Chain A
Amino acid sequence: MLHTRVGTLELLSPLLTGSGTFGHDGAATRFVAAGDLGALVLKTVTPRPRPGNPPPRLVETPSGLLNSIGLENRGLAAFLRDTVPKLETLALPVIANAGGESVADFERMAEAFDAVACFAAIELNLSCPNVKGGLSFSASAAAVEEVVGACRRRTRKPLWAKLSPNVTRIQPLAQAAEAAGADALTVCNTLLGLVIDWRSRKPVLGAGFGGLSGPAVRPVAVRLVAEAQQAVKIPIVGSGGAQCADDVLQFLVAGASAVQVGTVNFRRPDAVSRIAGDMRALLAAEQTTVAALVGSLQMSRKPPPLPTTATAG
C-alpha cells in the first residue's frame, strides 16, 4: 500500500528522512520499524571537514524552526572511513547527500559516493543557504545545470538535485537539473530567514541568517512541488514541513513520489513510524494507494462568472 518508485528506485514506503534531520550514521533508524522508512537520506557530507556555525544554531519561530547548523561534518575521508561501514549494515536503502563550494567539490563527492555500494542514490545539496556559495548553485539555472551535469558524468547511481525555495520561479531550475541528467528533484530545502534580538540589535542565531523548516513552510513546499512537477518529467521528492500523514498525502497529490520528513524527527525519533501507521489507516479508509495518489492534483477551480451588471461598465 505504501510502495512507491522514484525513477528506478523501488521503495517500501514513500517516507524518507530529510537530510540533516536523522544523523550521518544510521543509528537513529533503531527508532523506526522496518518498512516504515523508505530510505534514509543522510546529513550532508562535504569534501573537507566543516566545524559548523557558532551557537546558537536553532531558534523556534511560530510553527517552525530557524537553523544555521552550517553543515557540520568531519569531511569525506573520515566519513568513508568511520561512517560508511556502519551504513553498510543497515537493512534499508541509504541515500547519500553531497555538499560543496565548487563544481569540483561536487564532482569529487559524486565520484566518491558512486564507489559506495550501499548508496541507492546521491542527493546533491545545491541549496543549503548557510554556506558561502551554496545559494549560488540553486539560484541560477546555469549553475544547476553545470553542477548536475558534472556529477552526472561521475556516477551511474540515481542523482537527485535538491532545490532551494529561495527563488522567484522554480521551473527553470527544475528544467535545468532535468536537462543535465538528474534522475529526480528534491523540492525543497529550507526558506532563508532571520530572527533578531532587537534589544542587542543582533541576530539570534550565531551565524546570522538561518533556514526555516517545520509546518510553517509546508504550504510553500507543497506549492513548489506542484509547480515543479508541471515543468519536468522526472520524479519529485517532496520536502518541507510534513509532520503527519495528512501532510505527506498532500505532497503526494501535489506530485511527489516520495516525501522527506525532517523537523518532526526532532520532536520524536519514532515520528516516521507513527506517520506510516496513520497513512496505512487513511489509505485503507479511502481505498487507495500511494501510487494512485501521486500527481493526482486537480488544480483548476474556475471562478464564478461575474454578474452582467459588473461586466457592463
Chain B
Amino acid sequence: MEVELAEALGRVAPGQFAMLSPGDGSGPLIPRPFSVYDQPAADRLTFLVQVIGPGTQALAAIPVGGSVLCTVPLGNGFVVAPAEREVVFVAGGVGSAPFLLYGRERLRRGGKTTLFFGARSAERLYDREAFEKERLPTVYATDDGSLGFRGNVVACVADALRAGRVGRDALFAACGPEGLLHAFARFAREEGLDGELSLETYMGCGYGVCNACPVATEAEGPLGGWPYAKSCLDGPVFALRSIAF
C-alpha cells in the first residue's frame, strides 16, 4: 500500500511505524500500526499490509486514490549499526517490512549484513524481489521447503550460526509474528546472542497517551526502572536484554 502524505517528511528511520485507518472514518474505531516499508519520496511511504482482521480489511477496501488517515513517524526505530558490526536480520512474513530501509542503509554504510527471510511457503515471502533488487544478501527459509532452507527461519539462523556463515558476535534484529519472536528470543538467549526485537504489540494510540501497549521490562535491564515499557514510545524496537519477552 502506497500513501501520499499531505506534507513532506524527513527521512523515516527503519522500524518506525505509522498508524493507519481509512480517511473516511470507515473501519474500526482505532487505527492499526504498520512499519514503514519504504519511502520512495519525502512525501510517499509504502507499507506491507497483510489482510487479517477488520482493521486490515478496511485498509484493503480503500480504492486507489482514496484517503487514508496516517499518523507518522512513530516509535524509536532501529539504530543503524556501524559498519564494523555484522548485522543479521531475522524476518518472518511481513516482518520483513523494517529491513528494506535498514538493509539499504547498511549497504550504503558498509558492513556484513544478511537477511534471513522466512515464511510458510515461497509465495508468502512477500515482495522478496525488492530485497533482491537491492542486492541484499538473503537466505530464504520456508516451512514447506518450496524455496531455500526447509524449516522455520530461527532454525535457519541456527544452522548458519553452526556453519559459521554468520558470526556469534553479530547484532541480530528480528521482526515478525509473535510466535517467531518468542522462538527467536528463546534461541538468542540460549546462545547468548545480542539481539533486538521489533514487536507487534496491540496499540490504542501509537503516540504514548493510552498506556495500552505495555511490554514487560527486564528488572536488571536498561528499562528496569518500571515494570512496563510503552511499545509505541520506548519501542517498537527493544534490545532483548531490556524486556521480559
In contact, B210 and A60 (Cβ under 8 angstroms): no
Chain A nearest CB from B111 CB (Å) reads: 35
Q: Which one of A27, A28, A52, A265 lies within 8 Å of B211 (CB-CB)?
A: A52
A and B contact pairs by CB, cutoff 8 A, 25 listed: A20-B211, A21-B210, A28-B207, A28-B208, A43-B209, A43-B211, A51-B228, A52-B211, A55-B212, A55-B213, A55-B214, A57-B213, A58-B210, A58-B212, A64-B29, A65-B30, A65-B204, A72-B214, A265-B205, A266-B209, A267-B21, A267-B69, A268-B69, A268-B71, A269-B209
In contact, B29 and A263 (Cβ under 8 angstroms): yes
Expressed in whole angstroms, the Cα–Cα distance for A55 and B201 within the complex equals: 10
Give chain A residues whose Cβ lies under 8 Å from the Cβ of B212. Answer: 55-58, 67, 69
Residue of A nearest to B30 (CB): A266
Residue of B nearest to A244 (CB): B25
Expressed in whole angstroms, the Cα–Cα distance for A10 and B227 within the complex equals: 39
Q: Which one of A56, A72, A269 lies within 8 Å of B205 (CB-CB)?
A: A269
Give chain A residues whose Cβ lies under 8 Å from the Cβ of B103. Answer: none
Considering only residues 171-209 of chain B, those with a C-beta below 8 Å from chain A are 202, 204-205, 207-209
Considering only residues 23-78 of chain A, those with a C-beta below 8 Å from chain B are 23, 27-28, 31, 43, 51-52, 55-58, 60, 63-65, 67, 69, 72, 74
Give chain B residues whose Cβ lies under 8 Å from the Cβ of A158. Answer: none
Give chain B residues whose Cβ lies under 8 Å from the Cβ of A55. Answer: 202, 212-214
- Counting CB contacts under 8 A, is A214 at the interface? yes
Chain A nearest CB from B45 CB (Å) reads: 17
Q: Which bracket fits the contact residues of B?
A: 20 to 34
In contact, A269 and B71 (Cβ under 8 angstroms): yes
Given contacts A52-B228, A69-B211, contact A214 B29 (CB under 8 A): yes
Q: Which one of B31, B69, B211 lies within 8 Å of A72 (CB-CB)?
A: B211
Chain A CB within 10 A, most for which of B71, B205, B209: B209
Expressed in whole angstroms, the Cα–Cα distance for A58 and B202 within the complex equals: 8
Give chain B residues whose Cβ lies under 8 Å from the Cβ of A28. Answer: 207-209
Expressed in whole angstroms, the Cα–Cα distance for A31 and B30 within the complex equals: 18
- Counting CB contacts under 8 A, is A137 at the interface? no
> Chain A's interface: helix, strand, loop or mixed, by majority?
loop
Give chain A residues whose Cβ lies under 8 Å from the Cβ of B69. Answer: 267-268
Chain A nearest CB from B74 CB (Å) reads: 10
Considering only residues 89-119 of chain B, those with a C-beta below 8 Å from chain A are none
Residue of A nearest to B231 (CB): A55
- Counting CB contacts under 8 A, is A113 at the interface? no
Expressed in whole angstroms, the Cα–Cα distance for A92 and B213 within the complex equals: 28
Give chain B residues whose Cβ lies under 8 Å from the Cβ of A267. Answer: 21, 29-31, 69
Residue of B nearest to A21 (CB): B209
Give chain B residues whose Cβ lies under 8 Å from the Cβ of A74. Answer: 226
In contact, B204 and A58 (Cβ under 8 angstroms): yes
Chain A CB within 10 A, most for which of B208, B211, B213: B211
In contact, A60 and B205 (Cβ under 8 angstroms): no
- Counting CB contacts under 8 A, is A22 at the interface? yes
In contact, B204 and A266 (Cβ under 8 angstroms): yes
Expressed in whole angstroms, the Cα–Cα distance for A52 and B210 within the complex equals: 12
Give chain A residues whose Cβ lies under 8 Å from the Cβ of B222. Answer: none
Give chain B residues whose Cβ lies under 8 Å from the Cβ of A22. Answer: 209
Expressed in whole angstroms, the Cα–Cα distance for A268 and B31 within the complex equals: 9
Chain A nearest CB from B6 CB (Å) reads: 12
Expressed in whole angstroms, the Cα–Cα distance for A78 and B235 within the complex equals: 22
Chain B CB within 10 A, most for which of A23, A28, A63: A23
In contact, A265 and B29 (Cβ under 8 angstroms): no
Chain A nearest CB from B18 CB (Å) reads: 12
- Counting CB contacts under 8 A, is B28 at the interface? yes
Expressed in whole angstroms, the Cα–Cα distance for A214 and B204 within the complex equals: 12
Q: Mark B209-237, 1 if CB is under 8 A from A, else 0.
A: 11111100000000000111000000000
Give chain B residues whose Cβ lies under 8 Å from the Cβ of A51. Answer: 226-228
Known: A266-B204, A267-B29. 8 other contacts (CB 8 A): A20-B211, A22-B209, A55-B214, A57-B212, A57-B213, A58-B204, A58-B212, A267-B69
Q: Mark B21-44, 1 if CB is under 8 A from A, else 0.
A: 100000011110000000000000
Q: Which one of B28, B208, B210 lies within 8 Å of A69 (CB-CB)?
A: B210
